[in-house]
Structure 1
Amino acid sequence: MSGGIKEKKPLIHLPYLPMDGTLKDGTTVVLDRYCNEYEANFYDIVKSIVNEGDRFPREEMTDVEDFRSYFLSNDAFICTNKTTRELLGAFYVKPKFAGRCSHICSAGFVVKESARSNGVGSFLAQNYVYIARDLGYKASYFNLVFETNEASVRLWRKLGFKEIGRIPKAGNLKGLGYTDALQFYYDFETLPKTPS
């Protein structure tokens, strides 16, 4: 969490959830709020990605309590296979800053390794901007998108996020060494009224 922010917003009803979508291979998926039945699967995905060492700044995810405090401290959303109910990906949304700047949010996205390159990340990201806006945020700011995470960089650019900065040698990534991070910003007030 940025700056020790622990402000949890009250639950806001999002009338379009649950929402169906279709992946590249034709699989039907569902986007909905996180529920506890997926905790073990969500934790396993996060732990695996943190251990890969090339996407998240964290060096380890020590236990399920650590996971809960980081990923579940505010709003979280999951993408599941509609038929099998398998968890394919997820994201959290939380204020990036405290107090007078808490209208700017950030998020963390994870996609199960076996589900990558099939459009799960795109489906999550395309809907994230509406969800975050409808949770009351005015903008999104990602400060550590490692330039070597090409899929993520491509996705934010494609969705119209503005690249507003670069941090040289921001992360010492596993197998990659010191790597620059890009910063992306999106103004939610430019969005159409409802997700398509």
Structure 2
Amino acid sequence: MEKIIIRKYTEKDIPAMCGIWNEVVEEGVAFPQEETLTEKTGSAFFASQTYCAVAEETESKKIAGLYILHPNNVGRCGHIANASYAVKSDCRRLHIGELLVKDCLTQAHAANFRILQFNAVVATNIHARHIYERLGFIQLGTIKGGFKMKDGHFEDICPYYREV
């Protein structure tokens, strides 16, 4: 595997980011979104986040993954962040997700968030859950049938949080 760096995204990354994001959406087993992004909607979506980063292979300059960071709520709960992570399918299980989460924690702190919370981690997403638990996130419980899978059946979701 090539060396991976995590860096703030730029406009030139939008096509690759949309491709990776859409791959996860179309798989229908992790993200709640059902609509894919075009370059136009993707550009607006990523620009609306507090922070977005990409995982870039240093030699090839290919984008292997990304994350978005944004408030989980407003007002008196505005100090709680939320994030989503996406890794290109042929780059999974190379620890890129863990690099993305670690950088996200740093950026959340820099943006003055106090907590990073995940509302809807699908219970069967064991690789993500292992990363979160290894990095000190605490599972808040289980919401039975909280996620509708692409094939129409329902899976449990597990909210997680960690101070940043």
**Which residue pairs with 1:139 in the alignment?**
115
Match of residue 30, structure 2, among 42, 55, 58: 55
C-alpha contact (below 8 Å) 1:167/1:180 kept by paired residues: yes
Residue type of the alignment partner of 2:62 = E
Deviation at 1:176, TM superposition (A): 6.8
Q: Comparing 82-91 with 127-136, which one deviates more in the overlay? A: 127-136
Partner amino acid, structure 1, of 2:150: K
Residue 126 in structure 1 maps to residue 102 in structure 2: yes
Q: State the Cα distance separating 1:69 from its structure 2 match.
A: 4.2
> Superposition RMSD on alpha carbons, in Å?
1.4
After superposition, give the CA deviation of every residue in 1:41-93 in whole Å (9 maximum; x if it has no partner). Answer: 10011111101110101112153343344443121011100111000111011
Mapped to 1, the partners of 2:141 and 2:43 lie a distance apart of: 30
Distance in 1 between residues matched to 2:20 and 2:54, nearest whole Å = 12
Partner of 2:138: 162
Identity of aligned residues (%): 23
**From 16, 19, 25, the counterpart of 1:44:** 19
Matches within 5 A, 1:17-96: 25=1, 27-61=2-36, 63-74=38-49, 75-96=51-72
Q: Structure 1 residues 30 and 136 mapped into 2: Cα distance closer, same or farther (>3 Å)?
A: same
| Ranges in structure 1 where 5+ consecutive residues have no aligned partner | 1-24, 189-196
Quick check: 2:11–2:43 contact (8 Å CA) kept in 1? no
Letter in 2 for 1:140: L
Stretch deviating more after TM superposition (133-142 or 59-68): 59-68
Aligned to 1:16: none
CA distance in 1, matches of 2:118, 2:45: 16
Q: How many residue pairs are counted as aligned between the two chains? A: 163
Structure 1 length-normalised TM:
0.79
Aligned partners of 2:106, 2:37: CA distance in 1, in Å? Answer: 32
Corresponding residue for residue 85 of structure 2: 109
Normalization by structure 2: what TM-score?
0.93
Deviates more, 1:104-113 or 1:128-137: 128-137
Deviation track 1:139-180 (CA, whole Å, cap 9, x = no partner) reads 111110000111111111111101112211011102471000
Q: Is the 2:6–2:55 contact (alpha carbons within 8 Å) kept by the matching residues of 1?
A: yes
Deviating above 6 A after TM superposition, structure 1's stretches of 4 or more consecutive aligned residues are: none
Unaligned runs of 5+ in 2: none
Q: State the distance in 1 between where 2:158 and 2:118 align.
A: 8
Shift of the 177–121 alpha-carbon distance from structure 1 to 2, 3 Å rule, reads same
Q: Is the 8 A contact 1:32 1:77 kept in 2?
A: yes
